[in-house]
Amino acid sequence: MLEFNNVSKEYHVGDRVIKALDDVSFKINEHQFTVVLGPSGSGKSTLLNILGGMDRPTKGKIKFKDQFVNELNDRDLTIYRRKVIGFVFQFYNLIPSLTALENVAIAAQLTDNDDAAVSYLQDVGLKERINNFPNQMSGGEMQRVSIARALAKKPQLLLCDEPTGALDSVTSMKIVKILQDIANNTDTAVVMVTHNPQFEQYGNQIIKLKDGKVELMTHKDAVLVGEAE
């Protein structure tokens, strides 16, 4: 589905050149749950931003199917973000004045998706909370709304930036299970960035970053959430 070929990202700070990513290559396939691991400053967020078309590489190529994302102009890059990518953030980014249903519905409308927004909330177990506002929900519930909102775009690639970072361990596992189910049961590939090595076992592609480089990349059969408990 997507190829990341010899990608580097450099930032200039005064006279210094900082390489946030240094010659990174990997592939993402359909039905794949990719877990990107690394400490703070390893390049995880930069990698995710470039995958999502929110930043451009200094060097290298990003190929999505037959399209080179790194060569897109600003307008086409916006279309790529809207039609191909779904984003899930650590702190939810819900619109506080809208209900759960409205938060999801607005994403569906922006991408001309005629499916009922409520179906996405049902998929993440929030049928009874559709008319609640964000301040009436727990952190785990808000994160599930944000996942439903991202899925309402019908993305081909779901990018998750520390989606469990603000959650307790039990709720975190519920979120990881939802992401794993999405990768296994839909055509949407999932990439989750995390600093928590506990989640390594649940991915079928693991990319470990250190100082902007791929320290280790492995492919394996993932442990299904619940089997390791």
pLDDT-derived band of residue 108, with 50, 70 and 90 as boundaries? confident
pLDDT-derived band of residue 89, with 50, 70 and 90 as boundaries? confident
Cα dihedral across residues 146, 161, 93, 115: positive or negative? negative
What confidence score (pLDDT) does residue 191 get? 96
> What is the percent of the chain with per-residue pLDDT over 90, rounded to a whole number?
69
195, two tokens: 């600093």
pLDDT at 229 over 80: no
pLDDT at 113 over 80: no
pLDDT at 226 over 80: no
Half-sphere exposure in the Cβ direction for 62 (13 Å, CA): 24
How far apart, in whole angstroms, are the C-alpha atoms of residue 68 and residue 72?
Answer: 7
pLDDT-derived band of residue 114, with 50, 70 and 90 as boundaries? low
Q: What is the mean pLDDT of the chain?
A: 91
pLDDT at 187 over 60: yes
CA-only gyration radius of the chain, Å: 17
What are the domain boundaries of the chain? 2-219
Tell the CATH topology of 2-219: Rossmann fold (3.40.50)
The average pLDDT across 122-143 equals: 92
Of 100-114, 154-168, 175-189, 199-213, least confident by mean pLDDT is 100-114
pLDDT at 227 over 70: no
Of 5-14, 66-75, 109-118, 160-169, least confident by mean pLDDT is 109-118
- In this structure, are residues 34 and 191 in contact, taking their beta carbons and an 8 Å threshold? yes
pTM of the model: 0.91
pLDDT at 217 over 60: yes
pLDDT at 224 over 90: no
Pairing of strands 157-161, 189-194: parallel
